Amino acid sequence: MTKKQKTSNAVAILHRRYVKDDPERKASLQKERINAEVASLIFNLRTEKGISQSELAELIGTTQSVISRLEDADYDGHSLTMLSRIASAVDQKLTITIDG
């Protein structure tokens, strides 16, 4: 019998309790992490540039509501084309990395 390691880290406790070694739950969690990271990245790029959602939308030929959706961590419809347009509008280069 293995002894559980005690921790007060809430994330570790929740992960151990709900994700465990379930491949589907791990994949779902990873997908949500990516969505949150992309949303945060778009928000940070825009605010560092000092522009509003409406201004960014105008630069890339879309609407403010689309930018708002893209900055929402729950949105999972990010496309490489849109990310590339955003990167270009804020004078950045889009780089994709796949880690194994």
The predicted-structure confidence for 35-60, as pLDDT tens digits, reads as follows 999 999 999 999 999 999 999 999 99
Q: How confident is residue 8, by pLDDT bands cut at 50, 70 and 90?
A: confident
pTM listed for this prediction: 0.78
Beta strands in 1-100 (DSSP E): none
In a domain, 95, yes or no: no
In a domain, 98, yes or no: no
pLDDT value, residue 13: 83
Contact 6, 39 (CB under 8 A): no
What six digits make up the tokens of 38?
């992309």
In a domain, 78, yes or no: yes
In a domain, 30, yes or no: yes
Q: Which domain holds residue 46?
A: 10-89
The domain total for the chain is 1
In a domain, 58, yes or no: yes
Write the CATH number for 17.
1.10.260.40
What six digits make up the tokens of 92?
């950045």
pLDDT value, residue 2: 58
In a domain, 74, yes or no: yes
For residue 70, how many other CB atoms are within 10 A of its CB? 24
Question: Given a cut of 80, is residue 82 above it in pLDDT?
Answer: yes
Which residue type occupies 63?
A: T
In a domain, 94, yes or no: no
